[in-house]
Structure 1
Amino acid sequence: MTVNDGYFDFFQNWIHFYNKLQLNFPLIVIAEDDDVFLKLHQLNTQSVFTLVRSWRNTLRSAVVYGSKEFNELASGRPTYILTYLETGTNILYADTDSVWLHDPFPYFQGTFDMWMQVDGPGNLCTGLIAIKSNNESIKLMRLWEAALKKRLDIGQTVFNQVFTNSTIHLKPLDRNLFPSGNIEKVRLDARKLSRPFGISQQFPVEVMERRRKLVPVMLDRKDGKEAYLAADKLYIDEHLYRDGATSGSG
């Protein structure tokens, strides 16, 4: 598992539920920046996991899905996985923005090389990957790593592209038991709720602070122009708002 400072609160939640399962497996946590390394070290008083410091120093803004910083953070995934596969170690990689309610290991059975979550038809989810160390899995991870170095993009998108030509024996996991990040659709459908409840995306503290300052501006539009927030940026009539003025979004 990899963690940067922007995802530390996600990890606190994940490790809370992980500890409840009392699993007897080595857990390796890779810290992606100095700030989170210190926080993880202070959190790990019971030596629940082995803490490793990566060679990178990522930004908190990497929590914004699809951003350049997010893609750079996720691009290290195949490299970290290869570190262990190439020593003959089987691994289970998991994203921090998940919750383990039950032991997942009994589901990794059969003569397969890999087990993965699924977002939909033809779209494997890289949020949970169980991998046997063998020539086929190492070859696939090397192809994934090389493709991301050649063209930085969302890691899952690139993985699905390189997987198309792979001969690896993969077992898709039951989506009812292992729901993936496609549950984001629930958030997007929040406007359909008739009850006084809402669902919103979680942002870093500094992004939330900028959003709080922009919300009154967005709500105070009296000229009939459309206004909406995208992360920490306000767009009015499809133009980016900048301190009392708007500029062309192109």
Structure 2
Amino acid sequence: MAEEKNGRDINDSDDLRKRNSSSAYDRSAIILATTNTAFLDFTENWLESLKRVNITDHVNIIAEDKSAYEELSKRSDIKLKIFLTNETNVPATFLRFGTEKYIQMVNKRPMYVLSYLRKGIDVLFSDVDTVWLQNPMPFFYGEYDIHIGRDVYEKERNDVCAGFVYYSATNAAINLVVKWIDLIQAKPKINDQILLNQLFKNKYIRTALKVNYLDQRKFVNGKDYFNPEWRMKNSNIKPVVVHNNWIIGHDIKIQRFKNVSMWYLQ
């Protein structure tokens, strides 16, 4: 990360966890996301959802192109710390899931996370195609290395989602992310989430981690939440975060949010 605008120094973020969590940890924490110009509308919608749950500080965004960096740097309604990545080879256009350029972009995310963890700073990484309906910070309590949601939670298969993860700055979490980066470098054509799941299936790596699997009814994936039958069955539970995944395409994602009144942009 080369340039930065807005917000305060990263070391000034040391009260986020204390203010929002019941954990006894003394470490600081930040919220981290990445974006490019094509996903700026989702980024703006995500930021609006943060404001609606009174999160207006300690938000770090890494822009993958200069236009996104310049646009986000104009905002003054929320305290953002904006970085422009050193590697600006990612196009500003929409990157379809699974394409080579898409994989190149998402596979940089573990390196960004690691840069904070090595400074002793916890990281809540979030995709920008999420909407936050409650402040999630109080849910990250306990002596865990990672709090993570799942895309698949079946008896035979239990796949984690790399798009919403709380990383504690522990040795075990750092070791996992280092192994993850090594695997990405060895297999650069495979996306980060697939490789993270490969690591989670390694019993030696998995047993070294203290993992809290987030309640899938509160941290909901797109396959479930946008199914009317699921929402009716779970109508007594208020979601914390809704992830608009399990679907491919920019405009169809927007329409999905609009259908449930979660698209906040005019």
Using structure 2 for the length normalisation, give the TM-score.
0.67
Residue 211 of structure 2 corresponds to 170
Q: Distance in 2 between matches of 1:99 and 1:185?
A: 13
- Corresponding residue for residue 155 of structure 1: 192
**Equivalent residue, structure 1, for 2:80:** 49
- Aligned-residue identity in percent: 24
Q: Name the structure 2 match of 1:14.
A: 46
Instruction: Give the Cα separation in 2 of the matches to 1:74 and 1:138.
Output: 18
Per the TM alignment, residue 53 of structure 1 is displaced from its structure 2 partner at its CA by 1.0
What are the residue-to-residue correspondences of 1:3-152 with 2, within 5 Å? Answer: 3-23=35-55, 25-42=57-74, 44-57=75-88, 58-61=90-93, 63-121=95-153, 122-152=158-188
Q: Is contact 1:113-1:168 (8 Å) kept? A: yes
Question: What is the root-mean-square deviation of aligned Cα atoms in Å?
Answer: 2.1
Task: Give yes or no for contact 1:62–1:69 (8 Å, CA) kept in 2.
Answer: no
Mark the runs of 5 or more structure 2 residues left unpaired by the alignment: 1-32, 228-246, 252-266
* Distance in 2, Cα, partners of 1:182 & 1:69: 25
| 1:183–1:74 Cα change, 3 Å | farther
Other structure's SS at 2:125 match = strand
Paired amino acid for 1:162: L
**Take 2:57 and 2:132, find their aligned partners in 1: how far apart are those partners?**
14
SS of residue paired to 1:111: coil
Cα distance in structure 2, aligned partners of 1:24 and 1:15:
9
The structural deviation recorded for 1:47 is 5.0
Structure with greater contact order relative to length (CA < 8 Å, sep ≥ 6): 2
Q: Specify the code of the residue in structure 2 equivalent to 1:160.
A: N
Secondary structure, aligned partner of 1:9? helix
SS in 1 for 2:47: helix
Cα distance in 2 for partners of 1:22, 1:16 equals 10
Residue number in structure 2 paired with 1:203:
250
Aligned residue identity for 1:140: L
Cα deviation digits, residues 191-245 of structure 1 (max 9, x gap): xxxxxxxxx85437xxxxxxxxxxxxxxxxxxxxxxxxxxxxxxxxxxxxxxxxx
Question: Deviating runs (4+, > 6 A) in structure 1?
Answer: none
